[in-house]
Structure 1
Amino acid sequence: MDYSFLFNQSFGVRREDLISYGNRIRRAVQSVNYMREYGFRESDEKKDHPIYFPRLPYIEKEDGLFPSHEKKRLHILKERCGRGDFDIAVSIGIGGSYLGNQVLFDMVCGPFWNLMDKEERRGRPQVFFAGENEDPEGLEALLCHIRRCSAVHKNRLRILILVISKSGTTIEPMSALEVLSAQLQDMNVQVEYAAVTDPNKGYLHDLALKKDWIFFTVPEGIGGRFSVFSQVGLVFGAIIGLDIADFLAGARFIDKACKKTSVEENPALAAAVFRYAASEKYHIATEVIMPYGDSMRSLGQWYAQLLGESLGKKRNRRGEIVHYGRTPVSALGSTDMHSLTQEHQEGPKNKLIQFVTVRERRSDFCVSCGGERGSSALPMSDILNHAQQANAEALASEGRMSCCLAMKNADAFHLGGIMYFFCLCIAYEGELSLVDAYDQPGVETYKKILKGYLRTGHVENS
């Protein structure tokens, strides 16, 4: 993690800031370590809202979060997908039940997975997402594709529908499930269903048990935005062939590396403290997450939810109105250097830019630097990383904060590491700012209004 343009600069967070926050930092470390051990905040008197995300890197050994019978089902599902039992898989979910899995798909499968033949996909199915928006046109386009595949397929098309919803009542995924289930009945296809939902209650829970679907649970105490390390992500990972053991090993590596009590020895704590200071003292109101590389576009979208839902709060845990948080913006390098960087460079000085780079790319080509005469050929990966560095230096020349997280490569181990690193950063900053990083009361307002419209069937055009 490179904080050169965030810490100890004339325009950045200063060492005296860390000294002034000393007691707050110590309390934050103590609180997160308490959560690691007991699954609650030490200050939570009732202990009725468990926080189990710190246990997720160790979920393979956590029978309370991942029962042995579900582990067996996961193993069987992974084997079936690898040997070609399904031609198409559709993952239905929204928010945390979608965004993390989109990251896994983009990083593991790449953009042209569904154009490969089954041999190139190593027997695994084409993969599509649904229910991440209440958009009938997108759903119809998916159904048209399934109809075309069914028409040309030599045998009966085999489809796996994975439905992910803890409550089982969220309107977007439930709408997609209703439409797909009805439409697929009229096609010459064979459909199996799998559900990831609440272990004890809810519409989807009852439906899955009644229909004898492949059934997995969303563990108690795991918010959607942290759930990629739970059955929500692991079941989807099994479908696409993610190395689940390496993915979780990367998360464990980060967890063990981020337990120390000092900013100098705990990278996640340092990142949280710098961000907290930037927000509280230096009026940073926006955080731009800007990974460099096409496959990481969805990583920025996943992080935007993690940051926005976790820290964007009207009140702190004392009930005081604080309006804490930073507006998350997802950008992509080097693409958005040609669209958004102008504003980053010369717009309001209220932004922190979080860059993400990969040192070792899976593929590379040497090019002549835009065809300039006399220039020697350079690997495209070097040009991409040089573009990030140039962006950071340009921002610094205008006194604008940025930091860069560099992954060695984009394999499952490092992906698990970086995603868990961001989760830990949020946990520490939640304790520093005293906001509840594990609820999202703000979304209830629009849900109440929407339910009123749905009951009457009438929406006024504004």
Structure 2
Amino acid sequence: MQLKLNILAPKTAPTRLLPILADLEHEKKPGFIRILQDDENWTLSEKWGQQLKAKFKQLVVIGIGGSSMGGRALANYRYSETVHFLDNIDPSEIQNIWDRVKHDLPQTGWIIISKSGESLEITALIEMISELSTQAHFDFFKNAFIITENKKSILTDLATQKNIPLIPMPTDVGGRFSVLTPVGMVLASFMGFDLKQIRAGGQDVFNQKDKLLALASDLIQYTDKQTDLFIFWSYSSQLRWFNQWLNQLWAESLGKKQTHSGKKAPRIPWIFSATGCSDQHSVYQHILEGEQKKYILMTQSLESYSSLSFTKPGLAFFKDKGFPISEILGAERMATAQALKQYQIPVSEMLFEKYDDQAIGFLFVWFEVLTAALGHYYEINPYDQPAVALGKKLALEKLELL
């Protein structure tokens, strides 16, 4: 993996950070790292993905949060139009997806994903699609597949009752860390990704520990300076939904009230993700002159997804000069970084040779490891989300389902 990292790292890394990264790689390897060495995880995902591809023209994913965010990131990265996502119980979105697929139900597969197998939103979506399908005289359960933990739950009971194939989800991998399990990789295989390359990209993260250590040290330095906002600015529309995946990973993992010992947790910068020159025309003004303390990490592929260029401009603006579109985008990124530095806002850069299947695997694991390392460094649990349960409980109370 050709990665160029231009960062503002301190000369020496915090002493506690080195053993934390070593533990993540070896002694205390979490599930999301373990699966990189688990051949069955990859062969199972490839098998199911190819079976789905042979049977269906399109898929609808019923999942929310970590059960859909990674899949969305992959679909956006490939600009796939064959996978749709139901990840909100907004009636307008449900109707929109249904209207897209209702005329080709026999060729539509339904992938139901939930780690717990018990969530309110997923069960509500199942009931709604079941009713719409019945009205259309079609049994959507015969085209359904379930990805969940292999334990007793509403979804495993449904799989038994309706004879729905069940694809097991690893019990030691949290939802927001699950993109490289069947949760994301079955979809990746269906969309034509090379899973071997995704896996190789993820494994390559630990071959570049020096760069990972440098970025983690940089983020610790600016967190300790009471930085308010971490901005991940990707100069590629391919990463628009990766940005959203990263938002969840960072926020749920690091936004904690207490440390392991019950002390007040340090304030971790809030994360905001921006995309290319689009957000130069939306939030750039506030980033430059707003009062918050910020740290910005930019990323771009040096080789474009497409080689589009114009050679004979008809508008006076370009002074008869033709340009590759990617050159204009690169100039925008460099100019933005230069302006930020003039405003004394710290800016680092991750530059990839190209965004291919290996690069997306690398990006997923890079930020998973970085997030987990920061959690351990600040003595908070990066794998739970205790506050989220309150909203779920209150919603069930309002619906009189408790």
After TM superposition, the score normalised by the length of structure 2 is 0.91
Whole-angstrom CA distance in 1 between matches of 2:268 and 2:207: 27
Q: Does 1:101 align with 2:45?
A: no
SS in 2 for 1:408: strand
Whole-angstrom CA distance in 2 between matches of 1:456 and 1:30: 46
User: Greater shift after overlay, 180-189 or 337-346?
Assistant: 180-189
CA RMSD of aligned residues (A): 2.3
What letter is aligned with 2:374?
Answer: E
Q: Does 1:436 align with 2:389?
A: no
Q: Does 1:327 align with 2:270?
A: yes
Whole-angstrom CA distance in 1 between matches of 2:346 and 2:146: 43
Q: Does 1:344 align with 2:287?
A: yes
Specify which of 149, 157, 160 is matched with residue 198 of structure 1.
149
Question: For 1:234-249, what aligned pairs fall within 5 Å after superposition?
Answer: 234-249=185-200
Consecutive unaligned residues of structure 2, counting only runs of 5 or more, are none
Whole-angstrom CA distance in 1 between matches of 2:235 and 2:21: 31
Which residue does 1:262 correspond to in 2?
none
Whole-angstrom CA distance in 1 between matches of 2:235 and 2:262: 39
Q: Does 1:393 align with 2:393?
A: no
Distance 1:190 1:267, change over 3 A: same
What letter is aligned with 2:36?
Answer: P
- Report if the CA contact (8 A) 1:293-1:334 is conserved: no
- Report if the CA contact (8 A) 2:46-2:185 is conserved: no
Q: Does 1:174 align with 2:163?
A: no
Distance 1:199 1:383, change over 3 A: same
Question: For 1:4-15, what aligned pairs fall within 5 Å after superposition?
Answer: 4=6, 7=8, 14-15=10-11
Consecutive unaligned residues of structure 1, counting only runs of 5 or more, are 8-12, 41-50, 115-125, 151-155, 259-265, 458-462
Whole-angstrom CA distance in 2 between matches of 1:371 and 1:212: 65
Specify which of 218, 225, 233 is matched with residue 274 of structure 1.
218
What letter is aligned with 2:382?
Answer: A
Whole-angstrom CA distance in 1 between matches of 2:318 and 2:59: 49
Specify which of 49, 73, 84 is matched with residue 128 of structure 1.
84
Which residue does 2:25 correspond to in 1?
36
- Report if the CA contact (8 A) 2:67-2:113 is conserved: yes
Deviation at 1:206, TM superposition (A): 2.0
Whole-angstrom CA distance in 1 between matches of 2:314 and 2:166: 52
Greater relative contact order (Cα 8 A, min sep 6): structure 1 or 2? 2
Whole-angstrom CA distance in 1 between matches of 2:387 and 2:64: 17
Question: For 1:238-317, what aligned pairs fall within 5 Å after superposition?
Answer: 238-258=189-209, 266-281=210-225, 283-317=226-260
SS in 1 for 2:37: helix
User: Greater shift after overlay, 226-235 or 426-435?
Assistant: 426-435
Specify which of 40, 54, 57 is matched with residue 36 of structure 2.
57
- Report if the CA contact (8 A) 1:157-1:188 is conserved: no
SS in 1 for 2:33: helix
Number of matched residues? 396
Whole-angstrom CA distance in 1 between matches of 2:100 and 2:373: 45
Deviation at 1:386, TM superposition (A): 1.4
Specify which of 42, 45, 49 is matched with residue 78 of structure 1.
49
Distance 1:2 1:350, change over 3 A: farther
Cα deviation per residue 1:384-439 (whole Å; 9 max; x = unaligned)? 11111111110000110121112221211111011211111112212221211111
Which residue does 2:321 correspond to in 1?
376
Whole-angstrom CA distance in 1 between matches of 2:263 and 2:122: 35
What letter is aligned with 1:269?
Answer: L
Q: Does 1:161 align with 2:110?
A: yes
